[in-house]
Chain A
Amino acid sequence: MSLVMPVPDAGTLARRSEIVAALRAIVPGEGVIEDAESLRPYESDGLTAYRQPPLVVVLPETTAQVSAVLAWCHANRVKVVPRGSGTSLSGGALPLEDGVLLGLGKFNRVLDIDYDDRLAVVQPGVTNLAITRAVEDRGFYYAPDPSSQIACSIGGNVAENSGGVHCLKYGLTTNNVLGCELVMMDGEVIRIGGRHLDPAGLDLIGIVVGSEGLLGVVTEVTVRILPRPETARALLIGFPTVESAGQCVADTIAQGIIPAGMEMMDAPAIRAAEAFVNVGYPLDVAALLIVELDGPVAECDHLIEEVAAIARANGSVTLRISNDEQERTAFWAGRKAAFPAVGRLAPDYYCMDGTIPRRRLPQVLERMAELSKHYGLGVANVFHAGDGNLHPLILYDANQPGELDRAEAFGNDILRLCVEVGGVLTGEHGVGVEKRDLMPVMFSEVDLAHQQRVKCAFDPELLLNPGKVFPQLHRCAEMGRMHVHRGQVPFPDLPRF
């Protein structure tokens, strides 16, 4: 693996037993894990290509314990990596050899549900889906729905600003969080936001969401809940070309329709999914579009006809409309199984996550096919078509020498391509360790320094989750030095965005 993590501190490694003892004094019993066998489940997250057993795992149960653990680590200059359910696809919870892994799994209670104000107060270890489960009997749900929602925790969602297939209409995590309790690296407990909209001063909750565990440890989250739409209906539409599918998406939005979900699959993904779940996906098309509409029955019935007309006008070759819940679920079955389905095509696959302006899709897919030939690795594409979020799945075999490196190089080229056409490195999976070293493709040193100074405002000793997000963590004292520049900005020729 080519990933370079911060050099472990020999002094910390040598003090391991002292650190374990100190943690045991704060979190009694089974809350501290130190034997090699028990540490193994924590050695990676959803990005399994990278593994590193932590120095020790601590599983606190109260905010006071989290605060005490962080305060002790701060005073003793010990690094800390927070972890929710460990489903990050970018290595956000990858442990450090000289770092304490702080697991929030025991924070698993729903603390309060307020239907009048349409919010729920939950602990960070509660899974995304469990929030919906807790409020669905009253007809409510929590809107962001990352594909890992059965397992992923709301604390992890906050750290990663997780999305899902419905986020063009309903937003990402950041658009659905009102407040949180945050423990700072020095142990201070701060409440940010509340039960109301918009904060009194700077929007700090906005910066905490998506900060990938580098700013603080979230110990309580207040999320908005929404009434579940009356119904949902879907269309399954096949197109002879990617261009016509893309045009159908653009025309749908131009008609003022924001579907609840709009998913596209390319030919390799369609074939893999159909072979796996056998739900009747057409195999003679270049692109398959699933468009889901939700809301009142009258609205869905009306819009489904509008979308069907747009699809026909764009030369759709197959068009099916769901008439009941079973049919709708069947349309989705292949898409939802796309990752494991593609996984059957090769021993391993590597899931990428860039966003592009939608109109550039044909060009990006064409270039990706060339790269696929160049690297000698297959690729299948699933695409959140409404918001331009592309998930290329690169097929490889980790047991073949060099294939993982080639898959990573291929993936990096795809992400560079995304930025080149006006897009970004990550739409919903986060930077983590995976895209860390690509950050300079999108941001200049000056841009990154402005971001890192926010990190310094929260954690000046850089003890919380170091080695993630930033290709290089500069010492905060160095970052803080004031050089006010006159006139010419640095790197004037550097293309931005």
Chain B
Amino acid sequence: MTSPFFPNGEDDIADAIADAVRAGDTLAIVGGGSKAAVGAQTHARALSLAGLTGIVDYDPAELVLTVRPGTLLSDVQALVANEQQMLAFEPFDHGPIFGSPIGRATIGGVMAAGVAGSQRVSSGGARDHLLGFRAVSGRGEAFVAGAKVVKNVTGYDLPKLAAGSWGRVFALTELTMKVLPRPRVLATRVIAGLDDEQAIAAMAMAMGSQAEIAAAAHLPSYDGTALTVFRVQGFGPSVAARCAMLETLLTPIGRVEALSEDEAGRVWDDLRTLRPLGTTQPLWRINIAPSAAVSVTTALAPFGARWMLDWAGGLIWLVLDADVAVVRDAATRAGGHATLMRGDETLRAAVPAFHPGQPGLVALESRVRRAFDPAGVFETGRF
């Protein structure tokens, strides 16, 4: 494997792409490498954007932040926290999922992987917060899309393609994101002892209520106990009123208790690091309609699966050693899709990370990728 290429800017990236196209090589775009173990191993030369760092523009009152892709996620989060703001899609560092420490994830990386935390269910995903970008396409051309204002419909919404593209369409060189005020108060309420079905019903009730739940998750075995957690956040009087509302609503299902700040912090943190699921078994990320989640967990439980439900049941994090086909079957039958997020090299070489799609959709997606990358310079075989 050749050494990574560290461009200093768009011209360098264009050069690297031109060289690769001419030589018939491919380039693997990387940020901090915190998610390098997702997808098949590739021998493509790495095009590292880790050196493109820094804040380009941040105007808290406009709710708009422009940064270079190699900027560390932790730096971006510290910057906006200092202004009492947040990235509302709650991006997180995947390091711990692969047994590595936190600290390598870059903002370009989390955006390219479409990473969103528990708050995704109420505040939107990475896609909903990328307003604009600069990038170099597989044609070696720098271009812009979107804009630096929060409301814009001028031209195609290419930022949506960037979020979750895993470096397969273009190399981002600058990202403009929407930022939002950080809630002043966070409160977590918990019900212990529910099974999956009861938990899904409780979460559906809560999400459909006027309690404005920010996040809802179910951990079937948390230190031996099933926990269903609800996060309420905002201004003090509002949080108090909504917690009371939630308690009245859910008491018929089970006893609603408050978690201390420390306890709550630990639970929500564990939903990001996936600590309860360990770091060794193959890990799946299953996106599904919440009401279909139980059909998936019920189908996979006999194979020894263990899981946690986030996004009110719309996201299943699941570990399982058994045949991968059962996972994809269960997800397909339930109308969702399963992404292989972690596995050994052999498994990742044999099983595509992304759920196989319908042929027409796959062909269309491939044409869209080719629109930006006609020579397939970013098609490294990783996905």
Contacts and interface: CB of A to CB of B under 8 A. Distances in A.
B148 A422 contact: yes
Nearest to A214: B156
A256 B314 contact: no
Contacts of A296: 210-212, 238, 241-242, 245
Nearest to B314: A197
B290 A194 contact: no
Contacts of B114: 198, 203
Nearest to B371: A453
Contacts of A280: none
Given A200-B355, A450-B158, A427 B151 contact: yes
Interface in A156-188: 160-161, 163, 167-168, 171-172, 174-175, 184, 188
Interface in B103-157: 114, 116, 120-121, 124-125, 127-128, 132, 134, 137, 139-145, 147-157
B14 A200 contact: no
B156 A451 contact: yes
A200 B357 contact: yes
A328 interface: no
Given A197-B315, A296-B245, A485-B139, A257 B337 contact: no
Given A207-B158, A485-B141, A486-B18, A303 B235 contact: yes
Contacts of A416: none
Contact of A443 (B17, B144, B157, B241): B144
A497 interface: yes
Given A118-B207, A207-B161, A457 B371 contact: yes
Given A253-B181, A486-B140, A358 B368 contact: no
Contacts of A490: 141
B157 A206 contact: yes
Interface in B232-249: 234-238, 240-242, 245
Interface in A83-118: 114-118
Interface stretch (B257-265, B343-351, B359-367): B359-367
B181 A175 contact: no
Interface stretch (A71-79, A362-370, A381-389): A381-389
A355 B337 contact: no
B301 interface: no
A296 B64 CA distance: 28
A355 B152 contact: yes
A4 interface: no
B4 interface: no
B182 A256 contact: yes
B100 interface: no
Contact of A497 (B116, B127, B147, B358): B147
Contact of A487 (B14, B121, B157, B287): B14
B111 to A, nearest CB: 12
B21 A198 contact: no
Contacts of B288: 196
Contact of A204 (B150, B311, B361): B361
B140 A484 contact: yes
**A163, A227, A254, A497 — most chain B CB neighbours (10 Å):** A497
B339 interface: yes
A330 interface: no
A248 to B, nearest CB: 12
Interface string A438-462: 0100111011111101111110000
Given A174-B160, A359-B59, A427-B152, A198 B372 contact: no
B75 interface: no
Nearest to A451: B156
B35 to A, nearest CB: 16
A250 interface: yes
Interface string A415-451: 0000000111111111100010001001110111111
Given A204-B364, A496-B144, A196 B337 contact: yes
Contact of A299 (B121, B149, B234, B375): B234
Given A202-B161, A206-B161, A302 B238 contact: yes
A482 B290 CA distance: 44
Interface in A259-306: 295-299, 301-303
Contacts of A119: 289
A456 B153 contact: no
Contact of A457 (B128, B168, B209, B364): B364
B120 A197 contact: yes
Contact of A168 (B150, B212, B287, B372): B150
Nearest to B245: A296
A334 interface: no
A496 B134 contact: yes
A31 interface: no
A391 to B, nearest CB: 12
A296 B232 CA distance: 12
A388 B18 CA distance: 40
B157 A227 contact: no
A317 interface: no
A206 B127 contact: yes
B336 interface: yes
Interface of B: 10-11, 14-15, 17-18, 21-22, 59-64, 84, 114, 116, 120-121, 124-125, 127-128, 132, 134, 137, 139-145, 147-161, 163-165, 168-169, 180-184, 201, 204, 207-212, 234-238, 240-242, 245, 287-292, 311, 314-315, 335-337, 339, 354-355, 357-358, 360-362, 364-365, 367-372, 374-375
Given A357-B59, A446-B143, 19 more contacts: A114-B291, A116-B201, A168-B151, A190-B360, A194-B335, A195-B292, A196-B337, A202-B164, A203-B114, A203-B165, A229-B210, A295-B212, A302-B235, A388-B151, A424-B147, A424-B152, A439-B154, A487-B11, A489-B10
17 contacts: A116-B290, A194-B335, A197-B125, A198-B125, A206-B161, A207-B161, A298-B240, A299-B241, A387-B150, A388-B151, A427-B153, A431-B155, A447-B143, A449-B143, A484-B18, A485-B141, A489-B10
Q: Closest 5 interchain pairs by CB?
A: A206-B160, A299-B238, A256-B181, A298-B241, A453-B371
